[in-house]
Every structure is written in C-alpha cells, then in structure tokens.
C-alpha cells in the first residue's frame, strides 16, 4: 500500500504564507473601511436631501393654503376646483372642435406642462442647495437686478459731518447687493500683503465654552473672556497662551457680555443672572505679585429683569447695557445709578438682540430681533435715527440682527444678520446704502480694525473673512476647523483673536508683514 508523503513545511514558507494572508486581510479591512465611510457619506447626504425635501414640501403646502384662502376670500371659489374645471373645459372644447386641427395647441399645452414640471424641479433643487439661513429665492432675484454697489464705508463718526466729504456715500434709490464668490477665498487684491494672516497660537485654559469677549487696553492684558461656568479670564496674547492671574468670579450663571473702559481701567461684565459687575483692573490686578491676588468687584449694577445681552462703555462714567427685558439702560458708573432707560416698547423677540449694541460719541446704536436698528442719544434717551434695513427677510420673516458696528471713517452703521448679509446704514438719513452677501450662513461676529482700513466677520459656517472698507471685497478668508465662529476681535491692526461656539480653545491670528 502506497503511503502519502507528508508535505514539507519550512519556517520561511510558513512566514511567507502568514505574511501573504496578513496583507490580504489588511487589504480587505481597508477596503471595508473605505466602503463604510462611503456609505456613511451617502447616508448623510440622503438624510440631508430628505430634510431639504421635507422643508420644501412644508413650504409648498403653506403657500398652497395661503393661495386657497386668498382665492376663497376674493371669489369664494376653491382653487383646486377652479383648476380642475379649467382642465375639463379645455378637454370639452377640444372634443367639440375635433374637426379642427388642434395638434399644435395640444402640443403647446403639453410643452407648457413639461416646462412647469421642470421649473418646479429646479426650484426644489435650488432650495436644497441653499443653506437654512439664506434669503428666499424671490429676494435673491430682486438683489440680482443691482449690478454695481455704491462706494462703501467704514466706521461712522458724527451725525453732522460735512456733506461735501461724503458725496461718494449718497444713498441710491435702492441698496446694491454684492456677493463674495468662491474665487475670492484666500485671495488678495494685487499689491496687498494681507495674504499673510496666519495662526500664531491657541488660547487654552477653559473647562467650559467661551460666551463673551472684550478687548482690554491694559499694560499687561490684551483680552478678557467670560465662559458658561461664570468665570472671567484675562489674557496676555503677546507672550502667553494661558490666562494670567486668577479668575474673576461673581455671577450666578454664564457670563453673557463684557466691556472695558480704558479711561478708568474697569472691566464690566454682564451675566445670565441679570446683574452687571465692574472689576477694577488697576487696583485688583497687581502685576507685582504675578496677578495672584484675588480679584474683587469694583461695583455692581442691578436693574434689568432679563439676561444681559450687550455692554458698551463710554468715557469715564457712562455704561450702556441691553437685556432680554427689551430695555437699554444708561448708567452713571461713579454714582452707581441709572440715568436713562431706552425702551422700544417690545420684549422677547422684539427686544435687543444679543451683542447688537455699539456706542460712539454721544450716541448708541442698537440692533433688535425684529431686524430694526435704532440710533439713540445717550444723554436724552431719545431716538435720533430709525434705520431702514431694506429686504431684511429670512424665509419670509425679518432676519434677526446678530451684530452692529459703527464705521467711524465714513459715518455709517454696519449690521450683521442671521441671513448672512452685512448691511451699511447711513447715520444722516437712516437709508440702507449697501447690502453685502458676506456668508452663506449667519454672521455671528463683526469687528472694525483700529485703523479703520479693514473689518472682520465671522459666521456659523466656520469662516472668518477680512474685508477692505474701501471696496467691500474680502482680502482673505480663514477656514476654522472648529465649526461655528462665536466671536472675533481685533487686538491690534496685525492681530486677531477668535473663539468657536463648540470649542474650549481660542485662536490668535497674526498678520505677517
């Protein structure tokens, strides 16, 4: 009987076999991972398309209901019945006129029906591509008729400026609208060196999200930030990446607003608790002990019944505050009392929107949730200018204002809206002289450079754009990987600081010359 010879195994052969099998398994694993990632991407895309279709269907259903109600109120006729009756009458007429050659008319009718279907399909596609914070298509079509924007402004100064110095800012009958195209991303005008904006370092030291920021003009302090844990931190941006000194603590809940008065070196903070505290940086922050002394409150202002949304300091003894109770209050910080109360007559959604307050000269500009902007006299509390914010609609509703900023070089007020637009308002007559489509999503940050030559905007789409005030064109775009931008501040003409809404780390950007 023939015996089967056993297979000879050698160590090199076994090693080659194991290596080959391992490589095959790795190749299969990588292929599976790629397929898994691709499927996740497809699922996310389909879910997004599904949500978009649902929104489109809901909007169409609302429009149909409105049309039906309008038709019934005007003629007492049901819209669907009217359309059905029209179709039946056409068919009956075509049947009675069978001896005539109606082929051309029938073909035209079929062609028109196909055109209507195509238009509906394109409208649905454009609705899906548009982000939730965009304006309606009707508004975009209206904006497209304006081709050339008027010469744009910077930060306004005084209401009684010489008209001869502002001939280039005479408002046109309708504001112009411009869009920053994708070609402008990371691009710079010829001869401009602002391309050199780069990340310098990060700011790390928080256990909660940053909810307020303010530039500080102190010897060793550049920036103050408040967080959702109720603490205030001070930063020396130039030399340190960590906060200096001990945290300021005094609010019951998150910090919602910060403002620094350079004249008296006091940092004011507002919170969710409705209180306003003043912190004497000169007396309570002693550089000789390394900033280790416990900070104490300089003063406390109580008078709002809602969350403090905005603060602005003017001069040596004036503080302006806005809150969700719908009031704007003017405080005398030396006597610790309210000297004026500005009430637009609304609360809640009609009250001052968060971070939409800026003071200049003897005036204060306030942006409201109903998309109105008012200019008040600080001393009298009376409204000086009611700005006309044209076409400020977000899918048929007023677009809330997230930020306002005074552009002093040319006497204009700049407002950043939830629909991604930046609007420029003339302080002389209240007209909207320019509309800039700055971001596809909400404008969440707006700040003017100390020199007035540039301004910066941040958005919930995660982008930071640096603009030229001379031609309203972006000179550089910075994409932040931490998603939605909470706020951006100019620390100097060559340095920016920003925090994101869902990140515990801030970023400092520097312009390399």
Q: Do 56 and 124 fall into the same domain?
A: yes
Q: Which residue has the tokens 């200018």?
A: 385
Q: What's the pLDDT score for residue 311?
A: 92
**Percent of the chain topping pLDDT 70:** 67
Separation CA 16–CA 302 (nearest Å): 79
Q: Which one is predicted more confidently, 203 or 152?
A: 203
465 in Cβ contact with 455 (< 8 Å): no
Q: Is residue 135 part of a domain?
A: no
Q: Do 356 and 427 fall into the same domain?
A: yes
Structure tokens given for 88: 């039946």
Looking only at Cα atoms, what is the longest distance across the chain? 120
Per-residue model confidence as pLDDT tens digits over 333-343 = 888 889 988 87
Per-residue model confidence as pLDDT tens digits over 363-410 = 899 888 778 888 888 888 888 888 887 655 555 567 788 889 888 767
Question: Residue 124 belongs to what H/E stretch?
Answer: helix 103-129
Residue 255: band (very low, low, confident or very high) from pLDDT cuts 50, 70, 90? very high
Q: Is the C-alpha dihedral spanning 179, 185, 190, 195 positive or negative?
A: positive
Q: Do 116 and 224 fall into the same domain?
A: no
CB-count exposure of residue 239 (10 Å: 0-12, 13-18, 19+): exposed
Per-residue model confidence as pLDDT tens digits over 261-296 = 888 888 999 999 899 999 888 765 554 444 444 556
Q: Is residue 147 part of a domain?
A: no
Query: Which of 326, 343, 415 has the alpha carbon at shortest distance from 382?
Result: 343
Residue 491: band (very low, low, confident or very high) from pLDDT cuts 50, 70, 90? confident
Q: Do 70 and 218 fall into the same domain?
A: no
β-sheet bridge partners, residue 496 = 490, 509
β-sheet bridge partners, residue 434 = 176, 424
How would you write 151-183 as a 3-class SS string? CCCCCCCCCCCCHHHHHHHCCCCCCEEEECCHH
Structure tokens given for 421: 């637009």
Q: Which of 50-54, 93-97, 129-133, 264-268 has the least mean pLDDT?
A: 129-133
Separation CA 441–CA 501 (nearest Å): 14
Q: Is residue 149 part of a domain?
A: no
Q: Do 66 and 201 fall into the same domain?
A: no
Q: What's the pLDDT score for residue 348?
A: 43
Q: Do 180 and 115 fall into the same domain?
A: no
Q: What's the pLDDT score for residue 101?
A: 60
The total number of residues shown for the chain amounts to 513
Instruction: Work out how many domains the chain is built from and give that number.
Output: 2
Q: What's the pLDDT score for residue 246?
A: 74
Q: What is the mean pLDDT of residues 81-109?
A: 61
Query: Which of 392, 367, 365 has the alpha carbon at shortest distance from 376?
Result: 365
Q: Do 188 and 320 fall into the same domain?
A: yes
Q: What's the pLDDT score for residue 143?
A: 41
Q: What's the pLDDT score for residue 259?
A: 92
Q: Do 308 and 219 fall into the same domain?
A: yes
Q: Do 119 and 188 fall into the same domain?
A: no
Q: Which of 28-32, 189-193, 435-439 has the least mean pLDDT?
A: 189-193
243 in Cβ contact with 207 (< 8 Å): no
How many CB atoms lie under 10 A from the CB of residue 434? 25
Q: Do 58 and 114 fall into the same domain?
A: yes
Separation CA 11–CA 5 (nearest Å): 19
* Greatest mean pLDDT range, 39-53, 152-166, 290-304, 345-359: 39-53
**CATH code at position 464:** 2.130.10.10
418: CB partners within 8 A, 6+ apart = 133, 394, 399, 400, 401, 402, 442, 443
Q: Is residue 89 part of a domain?
A: no
* Greatest mean pLDDT range, 58-62, 140-144, 295-299: 58-62
Supply the pTM of this predicted model. 0.61
CA 324 to chain centre: 19
Q: What's the pLDDT score for residue 268?
A: 92
Q: What is the mean pLDDT of residues 304-328?
A: 88
Q: What's the pLDDT score for residue 167?
A: 36
Q: Do 257 and 324 fall into the same domain?
A: yes
Q: What's the pLDDT score for residue 125?
A: 45
Range of the domain at 276: 163-511
Residue 91: band (very low, low, confident or very high) from pLDDT cuts 50, 70, 90? low
Q: Is residue 119 part of a domain?
A: yes
Q: Do 121 and 263 fall into the same domain?
A: no
Separation CA 114–CA 119 (nearest Å): 9
Query: Which of 261, 258, 223 has the alpha carbon at shortest distance from 244?
Result: 223
255 in Cβ contact with 226 (< 8 Å): yes
Q: Is residue 206 part of a domain?
A: yes
Q: Is residue 100 part of a domain?
A: no
441: CB partners within 8 A, 6+ apart = 131, 132, 133, 420, 459, 460, 461
β-sheet bridge partners, residue 301 = 276
CB-count exposure of residue 27 (10 Å: 0-12, 13-18, 19+): exposed
Per-residue model confidence as pLDDT tens digits over 1-15 = 555 555 677 888 888
497 in Cβ contact with 237 (< 8 Å): yes
Q: Is residue 268 part of a domain?
A: yes
Question: Residue 211 belongs to what H/E stretch?
Answer: strand 210-215
Q: What's the pLDDT score for residue 456?
A: 92
């Amino acid at each position: 009987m023939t015996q089967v010879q056993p297979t000879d195994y050698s160590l090199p052969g076994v090693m080659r076999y194991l290596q080959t099998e391992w490589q095959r398994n790795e190749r299969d694993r990588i292929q599976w991972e790629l397929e898994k990632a691709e499927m996740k991407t497809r699922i996310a895309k389909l879910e997004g398309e599904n949500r978009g279709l649902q929104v489109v269907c809901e909007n169409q259903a609302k429009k149909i209901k409105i049309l039906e109600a309008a038709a019934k109120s005007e003629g007492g006729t049901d819209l669907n019945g009217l359309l059905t009756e029209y179709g039946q009458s056409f068919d009956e007429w075509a049947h009675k006129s069978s001896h005539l050659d109606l082929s051309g008319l029938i073909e035209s009718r079929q062609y028109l029906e196909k055109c209507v279907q195509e238009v509906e399909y394109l409208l649905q596609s454009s609705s899906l591509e548009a982000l939730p914070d965009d304006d309606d298509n009707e508004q975009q079509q209206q904006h497209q008729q304006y081709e050339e924007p008027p010469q744009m402004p910077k930060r306004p100064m005084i209401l009684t400026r010489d008209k001869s110095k502002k001939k280039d800012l005479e408002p046109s009958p309708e504001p112009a609208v411009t869009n920053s195209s994708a070609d402008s991303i990371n691009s710079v005008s010829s001869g401009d060196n602002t391309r050199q904006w780069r990340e310098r370092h990060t700011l790390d030291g928080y256990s909660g999200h940053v909810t307020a920021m303010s530039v500080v003009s102190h010897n060793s302090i550049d920036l103050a930030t408040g967080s959702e844990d109720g603490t205030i931190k001070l930063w020396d941006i130039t030399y340190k990446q960590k906060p200096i000194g001990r945290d300021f603590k005094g609010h019951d809940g998150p910090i919602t607003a910060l403002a620094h008065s350079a004249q008296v070196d006091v940092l004011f903070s507002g919170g969710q608790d409705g209180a306003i505290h003043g912190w004497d940086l000169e007396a309570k922050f002693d550089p000789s002990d390394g900033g280790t002394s416990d900070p104490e409150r300089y003063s406390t202002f109580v008078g709002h019944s809602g969350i403090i949304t905005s603060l602005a300091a003017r001069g040596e003894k004036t503080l302006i505050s806005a809150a969700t109770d719908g009031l704007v209050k003017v405080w005398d910080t030396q006597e610790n009392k309210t000297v004026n109360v500005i009430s637009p007559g609304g609360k809640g959604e009609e009250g001052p929107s968060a971070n939409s307050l800026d003071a200049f000269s003897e005036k204060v500009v306030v942006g409201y949730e109903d998309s109105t902007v008012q200019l008040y006299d600080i001393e009298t509390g009376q409204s000086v200018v009611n700005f006309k914010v044209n076409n400020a609609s977000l899918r048929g509703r007023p677009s809330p204002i997230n930020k306002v900023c005074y552009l002093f070089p040319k006497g204009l007020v700049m407002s950043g809206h939830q629909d991604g637009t930046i609007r420029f308002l003339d302080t002389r007559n209240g007209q909207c002289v320019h509309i800039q489509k700055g971001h596809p999503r909400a404008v969440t940050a707006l700040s003017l450079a100390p020199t007035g030559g540039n301004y910066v905007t941040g958005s919930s789409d995660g982008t930071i754009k640096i603009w030229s005030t001379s031609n309203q064109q972006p000179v550089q775009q910075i994409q932040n990987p931490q998603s939605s931008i909470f706020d951006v501040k100019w620390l100097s003409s060559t340095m920016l600081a920003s925090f994101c809404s869902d990140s515990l780390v801030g970023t400092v950007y520097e312009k390399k010359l």
